Amino acid sequence: MDYNFSEIEKKWQEYWRDNKIYQVEIDKNKPKFYVLDMFPYPSGAGLHVGHPLGYIASDIYARYKRLKGFNVLHPMGYDAYGLPAEQYAIQTGTHPAVTTEKNINRYREQMDKIGFCYDWDREVRTSDPQYYKWTQWTFIQLFNSYYCNNCKKAKPIANLIQYFEKHGAENLNVAQSKPLHFTADEWNAMSEKQQQEILMNYRLAYQAETMVNWCAELGTVLANDEVADGLSVRGGYPVVRKSMKQWLLRITAYADRLLEDLETVNWSDSVKDVQRNWIGKSMGASVHFGVEGKDIDLEVFTTRADTLFGTTFMVLAPEHELVMQITTDEQRAEVEEYITRTKNRSERERMAEVRKVSGAFTGAYGINPITGAKLPIWIADYVLMGYGTGAIMAVPAHDSRDFAFARHFNLPIIQVVKKPSAETTDPATWEESFDAKDGELVNSGFLDGMPVKKAIMRMIEELEKKGVGTGKTNYRLRDAIFSRQRYWGEPFPIYYKDGMPYAMDESKLPLMLPSIDEYKPTENGEPPLARAKNWVTEEGYPIETNTMPGFAGSSGYYLRYQDPHNDKEYFSREANDYWQNVDLYIGGAEHATGHLIYSRFWCKFLYDLGLSCKAEPFQRMINQGMIQGRSSFAYRVNIEKLCEYAVWNMIKDKKMGVEFIKNYKDGRRQFDFFCPEKGIILDVKRVGSLEKLAEPWEEYAESKGLKILMIPNGEIMDDCINGTNLVEQKIKDAVAGKDVPSFVDRPAHKRIPIFVSKNYTGRDEYSDPIHVDINMVRNDILDVEAFRNWRDDLKEAVFIYEKDKDGNDIFVCGSEIEKMSKSKYNVQNPDDLVEKYGADTLRLYEMFLGPLEQSKPWDTQGIEGTFRFVRKFWRLYHDEFNQFNVSDEPATAAELKCLHKLIKKEEDAIESISFNTVVSAFMICVNELSDLKCNKREILDPLCIMISPYAPHIAEELWHLLGHYNSVVEASFPVYDESKTVENSFNYPISFNGKMRFNMELSLTMTADEVQAAVLAAPEAAKWIEGKQVRKLIYVPNKIVNLVVG
């Protein structure tokens, strides 16, 4: 029987499914292990070879753990809410649920073909009411909780109400939007509405007017991590800052715990670092400045309280609430003008102008609380309202931005820190003294001579003593904006009474997403849910029309897998006690700031409620790299560029006095080249891009008269085809006074495309690279016929070939490694590969490509090698007639050694997720066993188990051929026996002065002296010790022998 992978794989996939081989239940007799993939958003494009990379790795890990006796939870589901399906719905009217369902089915089909060991009975979908019921439920708990800073824990809001009733807001240490002051009497006298408004200041899910990233095209707000470069990550539409009422999650309450608990998880340093960065904790001080002539307190945050003596001015963000109060009448116009100017600038513009210094003087002066110095107060957009207090004390000598500002507006600069080595405090050294973190203080009164760290402490002490400042910790992390003005998301279980939001009763959950007839916002800009009929509670109160963002459903999904069918609880106590949290989480690193931070917050909140027994969701995480595609290009001749290039070269080489003139045609400015010798103009089209090279000629050329030379386009093509550079020739001909054929104009889109083989002319100057479908390319050689038939406009294309060594015409493509994408025609589809090579080969090959965490290009040809290996593996169990042939004779020592080396390798490598080296170890082992002609059951039985995590189908087939009646999944991993691999001699490399010279087989029982004697006696040693003394012997048993001679 031949290795018929398609039959084998189909057979066993059905067997696994029908016998529910991968179903897991709580089993307290076995240790648990939880292996999880980041669940996918089911997009319309389906999977490409990059997607399953992480899934294959986690599948191998899960199967391995199972063979090692663990009860392994390995589920899969779908992050089913998301923008693309909704955008599609807006365009076509198709319900997002329909699109999503269709995509999910396609994903499932593709995943099934790869042979994953998911327990599909535990599948979750975030858009399933039975699932989002618990997303909504968690939201209600957040709404009904506040965060106690003393006990560092979320608490029921009812406790807070009791406290208010007795003590008002006195001595309250809780997470809050802003500090409030009221007494118990005042609280008790408030109306319900007033009380509700106050509670919003403390709820963990709260509503507030806030600056948001508004994307008009998508009609919704976006979180910071959904915006990049002022554009939406999904879709790339412009995003503006806008103030709107939104739901927020008070994630900042957990900032410290999110930071500290990073120490307890096994994640890559880079992801931890991104998280630390995102949280952005900085310790410093808040300092209160007075304002001259006004009863105003201006609070700033600084990490460098030590430099207070060096403060020479203050800067407020233009949006700062005190700006108008302090601005003097003389400066009012200027300040208002500046505010308007900055407000109207988009985020993009603001970012583009980061280095430009701008600002306006308010006319007011702040008072330095320590020195009493008068400090001019400015406003400038380099100070951000969103960080600290939106106001700074500027220390131009030690901050590059303050420095630039001071220089620009001519403000004084006082140096207060000098490097210990520096002798002077000369102004010339100021620029070098920026960020002097470990210098000592000068010009600073009682701080003089102190090192920076000590000076910071001393200054904070002084501020506190005088009551003008305190030590303070500041975070970059902002509360998470939790509402979206979209349809395809979880509805909020919130209704409005008297304008105030109230949580629905839990018994009303799930609050089903209503159907609506159109998915756009309403005419008056309300979210799509406002279109829903009867979107009110039973009592008639209106229900919230916002929906939750994408990260709502993905924050706690790993918990729901533990008990997915529970309709009473999110998950049961029993399930969570057993499965706890994820032991190994595999997914992309791009979620470092979004999903992973929200998920950790969600988990900590549920931990505070006593639901989750763990404070961290994902104990260990591995981020798989991207699989890149290798794109192929044909080079399409760009006639315009070709002309430009030729002309420009001639100018440069001074072959010709070509000069520039400009003229106007159809109201558009055009540029031509003028040749004074002949008084002709070279009409080169595609004018815009010529400006840069034309500039120097402009003035001179304007004074010249002109005639016109047209360069015939048709001729250009002919000459390209003949392989000569025609433009140059035409110009030469014209200069020499020859007749030049007339110009035949053809619009660019009607020109016959000309493609040039890579080595013929791969110059960018002449040609545009055009992506070629990789299926039409083999070994970089284009299948020209297939390419011609690819698109209509290529039917008449002209190809300029190269000659191969046999003189045949070939068309060679260029190539580049890029992200896999449909538009680049470099996508490798897993289905095609499974079809051609089988799932086992695909799995092995994806692992063999390289280290999991690294990005690496997909090599289309490399998979052949892995396929050869799989067939070779199959042949180990079969004779030359393809008959199954395994013998019961005992294995030889060599065979056992080969096996046990592999066991060791696989066990060691699996923990470091170094699957590529395991595959190579399999290859080595199979090569050796083939050479030994080994067909012993004693070897092949365990070998079959060992390969089963990597290639489960072939393993299952061989397992049954070996005579087993259960699934190989239920087998036990072979036990490593070190005695099988030890030898009594070792082939030592013999080195002299560290340089390896020859090898020598020596017994391991030899003493150092015996080794030295043996080596010196070896004939090869003579030439290396000739005339020299042996000074030292380095002998490392089982490693090396090194003789130091001299």
Binding positions for RNA, 464-493, rule CB under 7 A? 474, 476
Looking at the Cβ atoms of 712 and 989, the one nearer to RNA is 989
Give the x-and-dash track for 267-306 against RNA (CB under 7 A). --xx--xx--xx-x-x-x---------------xxxxx--
DSSP of 599-643: HHHHHHHHHHTT--S-S-SBSBEEE--PEEEEEEEEEEE-HHHHH
- For 616, residues 6+ apart whose C-beta sits below 8 A from its C-beta are 261, 264, 265, 581, 600, 603, 604
Structure token digits, residue 984? 């009594």
Q: Is 962 helix (H, G, I), strand (E, B) or coil?
A: coil
Q: What are the φ and ψ backbone dihedral angles of 392, each rounded to 5 degrees?
A: -130, 160
CB 98 within 8 A of CB 60: no
Of 225, 608, 719, 728, the one binding RNA by CB under 7 A: 225
Pairing of the two strands 205-215 and 240-249: antiparallel
Give the x-and-dash track for 242-271 against RNA (CB under 7 A). ---------------------------xx-
Number of residues binding to RNA, judged by CB under 7 A: 86
Dihedral of alpha carbons 564, 567, 569, 570, sign: positive
> Minimum distance between the CB of residue 612 and RNA, rounded to whole angstroms?
27
Of 856, 897, 901, 980, the one binding RNA by CB under 7 A: 856
> Minimum distance between the CB of residue 1035 and RNA, rounded to whole angstroms?
9
Looking at the Cβ atoms of 584 and 870, the one nearer to RNA is 870
Give the x-and-dash track for 328-367 against RNA (CB under 7 A). ----------------------xx-xx-------------
Which 898-937 residues touch RNA, going by CB under 7 A? Answer: 914, 916-917, 919-920, 923-924, 927
H or E element at residue 553: helix 550-554
Which 1007-1036 residues touch RNA, going by CB under 7 A? Answer: 1023, 1032, 1034, 1036
Of 144, 196, 224, 619, the one binding RNA by CB under 7 A: 224
> Minimum distance between the CB of residue 500 and RNA, rounded to whole angstroms?
32
Structure token digits, residue 725? 């550079």
Of 14, 702, 859, 977, the one binding RNA by CB under 7 A: 859
Go through 582-597 and write b for each residue having 16 or more CB atoms within 10 A of its CB, e for each that does not: bbbbbbbbebbbbbbb
CB 889 within 8 A of CB 882: no
Which 776-815 residues touch RNA, going by CB under 7 A? Answer: 778-779
**CA distance linking residue 440 with residue 668, whole number of Å:** 63
> Minimum distance between the CB of residue 388 and RNA, rounded to whole angstroms?
3
Question: CA angle at residue 858 from 853 to 859, to 5 degrees?
Answer: 130
**CA distance linking residue 683 with residue 673, whole number of Å:** 7
Looking at the Cβ atoms of 221 and 735, the one nearer to RNA is 221
* 989 binds RNA, rule: CB under 7 A: yes
Which 834-853 residues touch RNA, going by CB under 7 A? Answer: 848-851
Looking at the Cβ atoms of 173 and 823, the one nearer to RNA is 823
Q: What are the φ and ψ backbone dihedral angles of 458, each rounded to 5 degrees?
A: -65, -40
Which 383-442 residues touch RNA, going by CB under 7 A? Answer: 383-393, 395, 399, 401
Strand partners for 803: 809
Which 868-897 residues touch RNA, going by CB under 7 A? Answer: 868-869, 872
**CA distance linking residue 698 with residue 687, whole number of Å:** 14
Strand partners for 663: 670
Looking at the Cβ atoms of 73 and 1041, the one nearer to RNA is 1041
CB 730 within 8 A of CB 711: yes
> Minimum distance between the CB of residue 1040 and RNA, rounded to whole angstroms?
4
H or E element at residue 4: none
**CA distance linking residue 208 with residue 200, whole number of Å:** 8
> Minimum distance between the CB of residue 469 and RNA, rounded to whole angstroms?
12
Looking at the Cβ atoms of 168 and 284, the one nearer to RNA is 284
Looking at the Cβ atoms of 383 and 582, the one nearer to RNA is 383
Structure token digits, residue 883? 């008959």
> Minimum distance between the CB of residue 867 and RNA, rounded to whole angstroms?
8
Which 43-62 residues touch RNA, going by CB under 7 A? Answer: none
**CA distance linking residue 521 with residue 543, whole number of Å:** 16
Q: Would you call 931 exposed, middle or buried from its count of C-beta atoms within 10 A (0-12, 13-18, 19+)?
A: exposed
> Minimum distance between the CB of residue 401 and RNA, rounded to whole angstroms?
5
Looking at the Cβ atoms of 365 and 1035, the one nearer to RNA is 1035
What letter does residue 181 receive in the DSSP assignment? -
Of 78, 382, 585, 601, the one binding RNA by CB under 7 A: 382
> Minimum distance between the CB of residue 280 and RNA, rounded to whole angstroms?
5
Looking at the Cβ atoms of 130 and 917, the one nearer to RNA is 917
Looking at the Cβ atoms of 889 and 983, the one nearer to RNA is 983
> Minimum distance between the CB of residue 370 and RNA, rounded to whole angstroms?
16
**CA distance linking residue 719 with residue 32, whole number of Å:** 73
Looking at the Cβ atoms of 750 and 805, the one nearer to RNA is 805
Q: CA 500 from chain center: how many Å?
A: 39
> Minimum distance between the CB of residue 935 and RNA, rounded to whole angstroms?
17
Question: CA angle at residue 338 from 334 to 339, to 5 degrees?
Answer: 120
Which 546-605 residues touch RNA, going by CB under 7 A? Answer: 589, 592-593
> Minimum distance between the CB of residue 196 and RNA, rounded to whole angstroms?
32
CB 447 within 8 A of CB 457: no
Strand partners for 1030: 1045
